[in-house]
Amino acid sequence: MDRYAVIGNPIAHSKSPWIHAAFARQTGQALHYEALLGPLDGFAASVHAFRAAGGRGMNVTVPFKLEAYALADRRTPRAEAAGAVNTLAFDEAGILGDNTDGAGLVRDLSANLGCAPAGRRILLLGAGGATRGALLPLLDSRPAALTIANRTVSKARELAGRFAGHAAGVPLDACTFNELAGERFDLIINATAASLAGELPPLPPGVYAEGALAYDMMYGRGDTPFMRAAHADGAMRVADGLGMLVEQAAESFALWRGLRPDSAPVLAALRRLID
Ligand code: ATR
């Protein structure tokens, strides 16, 4: 049976084995998908051992996405743009590195939430790895404009400069949170690590346009602090990142198996499981 795994540290909490088992059942694919705890000083050795034992591909999570980028023999354009790899595929030619996180986000917005980025004014909060991973797929889906806001504004400017060449006519700029006062957005995506610490990116009031969606890449039981604050500040809809988790998995599954699972029932079942 074809073997796959997710590798991270820690890994016990990972929902990926559950999601991929559901995709395999649904599509009738015979595969085994497990969770591997990668030693902090032994990522590459763990990948090579899994591959040597017959592994066909891996998902990669915290803290190994940059090491996976370096380990890949060749990379997809979206992995190059993200500067990080969350999906490895093994074949005779070597190790292919891909990044399905941003595509998973765009697909969740478009297919599950009815909020395709095309034509919308988008605000991305944060300028770390999560933002970098989302930028190319978001720009490719032709928003009206995209603004990156970050506490450390130099990092937001650096990202805007790096992606200017990919923007293809989409206005792309960077600013501090304070500079957002008076601006309005149709879609605000929290890609900061603030929710992890139970904190909030300090948005000025009134940034949600009519009908706006507030999206937190984080998920857990119930609403995150960002979702609660967005609701209080007039966002019409709020969403967490559980759909992004399922959709990035579906992208990886499609890369490995050549067919796309129907993610909606899997997302609905996972939602019932964690709530
Ligand atoms: P990741 O890979 O998850 O994106 P990261 O690269 O460490 O993680 O980036 C974390 C992001 O969250 C950064 O944009 C960080 O802002 P700074 O660049 O100013 O550090 C942002 N962040 C973390 N905690 C935050 C908080 N309490 N409020 C606002 N932004 C926060």
Report which DSSP code applies to 118.
T
The C-alpha atoms of residue 270 and residue 49 are separated, in whole angstroms, by 31
Confidence at residue 198, expressed as pLDDT on a 0 to 100 scale:
85
- 170/79 same-domain check: no
pLDDT at residue 166, rounded to an integer: 87
CA 34 – CA 16 distance, rounded (Å): 8
| 187/89 same-domain check | no
Q: Is the CB of 192 under 6 A from ligand 1?
A: yes
Q: Which atom of ligand 1 is nearest to the CA of 152?
A: 19
Asked if 30 and 49 sit in the same domain, the reply is yes
Q: What six digits make up the tokens of 15?
A: 């929902």
- Please give the Cα distance from 156 to 162 (Å, whole number): 10
Q: Is the CB of 83 under 6 A from ligand 1?
A: no
Q: Report d(CA 143, CA 121) in Å as an integer.
A: 6
Dihedral (Cα; 248, 212, 118, 102), 10-degree rounding: -20
pLDDT of 168: 85
The angle subtended at Cα 120 by Cα 169 and Cα 141, nearest 5°, is: 55
Query: Which atom of ligand 1 approaches the CA of 127 most closely?
Result: 14
Task: List the beta bridge partners of residue 148.
Answer: 124, 174
Calculate how far, in angstroms, residue 51's C-alpha sits from the geometric centre of ligand 1.
Answer: 34
Q: Are residues 172 and 117 in the same domain?
A: yes
- 275 residues of the chain, pLDDT tens digit each: 999 999 999 999 999 999 999 999 999 999 999 999 999 999 999 999 999 999 999 999 999 999 999 999 999 999 999 999 999 999 999 999 999 999 999 999 999 999 999 999 999 999 999 999 999 999 999 999 999 999 999 999 999 999 998 888 999 999 999 999 999 999 999 999 998 888 999 999 999 999 999 999 999 888 999 999 999 999 999 999 999 999 999 999 999 999 999 999 999 999 999 98
What is residue 258's DSSP assignment?
S
Query: What's the domain count of the chain?
Result: 2
Domain co-membership, 120 together with 95: no
Pair (176, 268) in one structural domain: no
Q: Domain range holding 167?
A: 102-240
Q: Is 241 assigned to a binding site?
A: yes
Neighbour count for residue 144 (Cβ, 10 Å)? 14
- Do 139 and 226 have their domain in common? yes
Tell whether 88 and 113 lie within a shared domain.
Answer: no
Q: What is the pTM (predicted TM-score) of this model?
A: 0.97
Q: Is the CB of 214 under 6 A from ligand 1?
A: no
Q: Verify that 233 and 266 share a domain, yes or no.
A: no
117 and 169 share one domain: yes
**Quick one: 75 and 170 in the same domain?**
no
Q: Which residues are catalytic?
A: 65
Distance (angstroms) between ligand 1 centre and the Cα of 46 equals: 29
* Per-residue pLDDT at 128: 96
Half-sphere exposure for 152 (CA within 13 Å, toward CB): 7
Q: For position 202, which CATH number holds?
A: 3.40.50.720
Asked whether residue 257 falls in the same domain as residue 234, the answer is no
Of the chain, the end-to-end C-alpha distance in Å amounts to 33
pLDDT score at 188: 98
Q: What is the ipTM of this complex?
A: 0.96
Nearest CA to ligand 1 atom 25: 194
What pLDDT does 64 receive? 98
- The CATH number covering residue 254 comes to 3.40.50.10860
